[in-house]
């Protein structure tokens, strides 16, 4: 799902079926939408922007607890380097909006 359209790309919310980041990377690259900083499937970045690593982050994980089978939700704020790249790209908001569905 496209969250924001930026001058140099898109902010996308992805919901992988397997939980593997490789799935997201491959499918986006095949569509011509490589993830910023992806050395394997895309370009490292722009000469105007320092990209320290793959700009892929799991903001929220939802799963069943392996022992109790109770729903488990784990949320993780963006790391500092990720926030810096987002700010340099002009991404608005502190976090990507998430919705269940």
In a domain, 98, yes or no: no
**pLDDT at 81 (0 to 100):** 92
**97 within some domain:** no
At 96, the pLDDT band (50, 70, 90 cuts) reads: very low
Q: In this structure, is residue 78 part of a structural domain?
A: yes
**What is the rounded CA–CA span in Å between residue 3 and residue 89?**
14
Structure tokens at 22: 């490789």
Most confident option among 50-54, 70-74, 88-92 = 70-74
Q: Are 37 and 45 in contact (CB under 8 A)?
A: yes
Does some domain include residue 95? Answer: no
Taking only the tens place, the pLDDT of each residue in 4-62 is 888 777 888 888 777 666 788 888 889 888 888 888 888 665 667 788 899 999 888 88
Q: Is residue 9 in some structural domain? A: yes
The pTM assigned to this predicted structure is: 0.73
CA distances from 11 to 67, 69, 71, 85 (A): 35, 33, 28, 12
Is residue 24 one of the residues assigned to a domain? yes
* Residues in Cβ contact with 82 at an 8 Å cutoff, skipping those fewer than 6 apart: 55, 57
- CA pair distance 39, 9, nearest whole angstrom: 17
């Amino acid at each position: 799902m496209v969250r924001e359209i930026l001058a140099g790309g898109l902010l996308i919310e992805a919901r992988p079926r397997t939980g593997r980041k490789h799935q997201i990377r491959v499918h986006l690259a095949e569509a011509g939408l490589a993830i910023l900083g992806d050395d394997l499937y895309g370009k490292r970045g722009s000469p105007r922007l320092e990209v320290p690593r793959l700009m892929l982050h799991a903001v929220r994980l939802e799963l069943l607890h392996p022992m109790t089978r109770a729903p488990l939700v784990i949320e993780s704020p963006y790391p500092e380097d990720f926030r810096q790249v987002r700010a340099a790209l002009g991404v608005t908001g502190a976090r990507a909006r998430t919705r269940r569905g």
